[in-house]
A = this chain, B = another copy of it.
């Protein structure tokens, strides 16, 4: 089989997170919990959140438009567009169909793909579908565009600090700087009620916290075991933590990711035909005969392998936790915000030819482990250098955000809770607290139809256009931001 294009993978990435955040230390104080409960216990420092001005459609409109503008590609260049999300505001109409408004001016409507859902796994499902499309006979040479976005909110209480919000857009094509490694993809899917959203009227999930951790760690075990077996079948060699240069995990909160990396090393240890107890596995001999499935809540195992894996964790996983730590759990974009974090922390030279292993998990549940190989071309103007260059504003954007006091945050959450399902409804929150070029909800009419506008690329100017098409038009709009027309919705 030699017909597939070479090095199919991610050729551009765009991330969007909200302008406002709440500080987790302040939240600890405000909630009257012990200091460090959220920051150390969960490993979370800041949490982004959306007012009633943003919904799943606006997040996706924003990230797609920003990706198109930044990469300079045309709306004509896209042949597939799929959205992964669990922020469902319509049981039938896809967010993909809403995004087609951006394509109106281009006239390009021959674009396959709709929405895909399984908790935080939807983005990965969309990404794998995109890669498959590029490798299939139906690929017509155009880019696949993958969007993952969610608004993660919890009822007030212990779970609330594990929220977050954001969106990722990824372009998929051959000759990509982040290429999928063929044959190295393993999944584990199972039925569980660990985290789910059966109350359709509410934005909040039902969570069985303990079961959720067990399912997640169990899926790490299963996927890693299968990934290693596939690697072995392909290369004849044993895969261990040393075989990968970075290990990224879906991040509900940072502490679980650290435990997951320790879990990978625990798996290595159990599979090692002759463990080195003098060095690498010093003091771990008592755990040698344990069964994986008996250890999900074994504190001794957890502590021992957290310690044993600490230096590798800092080198191979911690850099990926920047955005998850600063924005919170974005659900479907979480893993890919980890990828963006890693890319923002490294130069092209530090990344070139490296293997990045990714673990995606969505409750219910669905999990996949796969790996990306970074291109070895780090010349000026190479796809890798361009991809990294396009991410150069991520850290400045993180730092430019606005801190909001916990009481204001709580009010904003209450407003969402009271109004997110109403029709008709006109959002009341200010649009001043948004990044330039952010789409926002202007109105929900009596038939639940939603209209949107977007903040100007020039500060303090807002654009509400009939349709917004390509980057050129957007730039024109930014220059002529006084024109106020509403985008048609039907």
Contacts and interface: CB of A to CB of B under 8 A. Distances in A.
Interface stretch (A106-114, A283-291, A296-304, A346-354): A106-114
A376 interface: no
Given A200-B88, A200-B91, A226-B110, A98 B191 contact: yes
A208 interface: yes
Contact of A136 (B4, B193, B222, B364): B4
Given A93-B118, A137-B182, A138-B185, 19 more contacts: A1-B137, A91-B197, A91-B200, A92-B118, A92-B205, A92-B362, A93-B197, A93-B363, A96-B189, A97-B118, A100-B191, A109-B189, A109-B190, A112-B128, A112-B368, A113-B125, A132-B136, A138-B182, A199-B448
Interface in A206-220: 206, 208, 211
A198 B89 contact: yes
Contacts of A245: none
A396 B185 CA distance: 44
Given A92-B363, A113-B125, A364-B92, A189 B100 contact: yes
A448 B206 contact: yes
A363 B98 CA distance: 12
B362 A196 contact: no
A33 interface: no
Interface of A: 1-4, 86-94, 96-101, 104, 109-119, 121-122, 125, 128-129, 131-133, 135-138, 182-183, 185-201, 205-206, 208, 211, 222, 226, 362-366, 368, 421, 423, 447-449, 489-490
Contacts of A366: 94, 96-97, 114
A117 B118 contact: no
29 contacts: A1-B3, A86-B91, A92-B119, A92-B196, A93-B193, A94-B117, A97-B192, A97-B364, A97-B365, A109-B187, A109-B188, A109-B222, A110-B188, A112-B189, A112-B368, A114-B122, A115-B117, A129-B129, A132-B135, A132-B138, A135-B136, A136-B136, A137-B183, A138-B182, A138-B183, A192-B490, A200-B201, A200-B421, A208-B490
A364 B182 contact: no
Rank and list the top 10 A-B pairs by shortest CB-CB distance, nearest first.
A3-B3, A198-B448, A114-B118, A200-B200, A91-B197, A93-B364, A94-B118, A135-B136, A132-B136, A97-B364
Which of A115, A201, A365 is most buried by chain B, counting CB atoms within 10 A of its CB?
A115
A421 B98 CA distance: 27
A159 to B, nearest CB: 14
B198 A423 contact: yes
Which of A87, A119, A131, A136 is most buried by chain B, counting CB atoms within 10 A of its CB?
A136
Contacts of A195: 92
Contacts of A131: 136, 138
A110 B489 contact: no
